[in-house]
Structure 1
Amino acid sequence: MNETYLFGFTEAKENELKIMLDIYNHYIVNSTATFDWDKITLEEFKNRIFLNNNKYKIFLIYINNELIGFCFLTRFREKIAYDKTVELGLYLKPQFTGKGYGKEIVRYMENIARLNQFETIIVSISGENVASLKLFRKLEYEQCSHYKGIAIKFGRKIDIMDFQKVI
């Protein structure tokens, strides 16, 4: 990126769920970035994320005051044994992908994870999501699993790869 961008992150509020859901539903319908087959409802989306949580965070992302997407930290697993581990997710509006923004967004989320005393970040990525695979490898996330053909979408079997970073 040769240009300078002013990134902004605001913690998401309940009245902004529809904005995030529209972005997420785009990926359901048009990609293998998520493995829902059909658009989800606002209520279902609300049940999947943490709003107003002291530990798990969801943020709207802005560049030069324009909304470009959302990112979040969520529980990795329900058991207390995993309380120092968090899962990271990132969804940008389609017109803002491939512009190199991911690096700064992920670094911001790593800092939020540290502030909330997490020690490890996990990301699960579709084997078809080449841009995300490249991004997390570049940011020194270590591939820790490769599940072959375990997800089915659009009539295809798709690999899932997990990456982790100790922060």
Structure 2
Amino acid sequence: MSNLLFKPLEASDIPALMAIYNHFVVHTTVSFHTEPVTISEFTESVIHPNPLYQTDVILLDGIVQGYVQVMPHKKKQAYDTTGEVTIYLHPDCVGKGIGSAAIQHIEAVAKERGFHSLISTICSDNNPSIHTFTKNGYIQCAHFREVGFKWGTFLDIVTYQKILG
């Protein structure tokens, strides 16, 4: 990878990241949104008032290619050492190792902030994401059947976890 960089999210990054996310809303089952999100909905999903959580923009050769984030797993204090990891990459970037680099980056951020466990919840149809998390040491710990409904089809989700140690 020529020049891969992760930088903290800035407000000016939100439109480009939202466009990437909405691509998956409109064209795939990766997102369980059924309609494109608005700027306010997207902003709320990538900015958290607690500085423990973070969204970083993924840049390749200076061009926005997606984002990676560690956000709250649940809104109860006992879960504070567990983070939810999410990655969205521009469709042209899939299969180039950027997802693995993003996971390794966000794990380092999470360790610095005292997280013990990271979880990623993935649509069971999303084989590239499942492969990337598995390749990076995440283990499937749950499979929930038919919990989403999109385009006339019930969808499963799988949860992958990694203990950071």
TM-score range, shorter chain: over 0.9
For structure 1, which runs of at least 5 residues remain unmatched after alignment? none
Q: CA 1:8 to 1:78, structure 2 compared with 1: closer, same or farther past 3 Å? A: same
Sequence identity of aligned pairs in percent? 29
Partner of 2:5: 8
* Equivalent residues in 2 for 1:145-164, closer than 5 Å: 145-164=142-161
Query: The residue matched to 1:98 in structure 2 has which SS?
Result: coil
Code of the residue aligned with 2:152 in structure 1: it is: G
Q: CA 1:36 to 1:18, structure 2 compared with 1: closer, same or farther past 3 Å? A: same
Aligned pair count? Answer: 164
Cα shift at 1:129: 0.3
1:82 matched to 2:62? The reply is no
For structure 2, which runs of at least 5 residues remain unmatched after alignment? none
Q: CA 1:53 to 1:18, structure 2 compared with 1: closer, same or farther past 3 Å? A: farther
Partner of 1:28: 25
- Match for residue 59 of structure 2 among 51, 62, 65: 62
TM-score of the superposition, structure 1-length normalised?
0.93
Deviations along 1:125-153, one digit per CA (max 9) or x if unpaired, are 11100011111111110111001121111
Cα shift at 1:158: 1.2
Partner of 1:113: 110
Code of the residue aligned with 2:103 in structure 1: it is: V
Code of the residue aligned with 1:74 in structure 2: it is: M
Partner of 2:91: 94
Note if contact 1:11-1:57 (Cα within 8 Å) is conserved in structure 2. yes
1:126 matched to 2:123? The reply is yes
1:47 matched to 2:44? The reply is yes
Note if contact 2:4-2:59 (Cα within 8 Å) is conserved in structure 1. yes
Question: What CA RMSD, in Å, does the superposition of the two structures yield over aligned residues?
Answer: 1.3
Note if contact 1:14-1:51 (Cα within 8 Å) is conserved in structure 2. no
- Counterpart-to-counterpart distance in 2, 1:20 and 1:52: 19
Code of the residue aligned with 2:146 in structure 1: it is: G
Code of the residue aligned with 1:157 in structure 2: it is: F
Higher alpha-carbon deviation: 92-101 or 35-44? 92-101
Deviations along 1:34-66, one digit per CA (max 9) or x if unpaired, are 100000110111222225752111111012222
Code of the residue aligned with 1:33 in structure 2: it is: V
- Counterpart-to-counterpart distance in 2, 1:7 and 1:16: 16
Query: The residue matched to 1:152 in structure 2 has which SS?
Result: strand
TM-score of the superposition, structure 2-length normalised?
0.94
Note if contact 1:13-1:52 (Cα within 8 Å) is conserved in structure 2. no
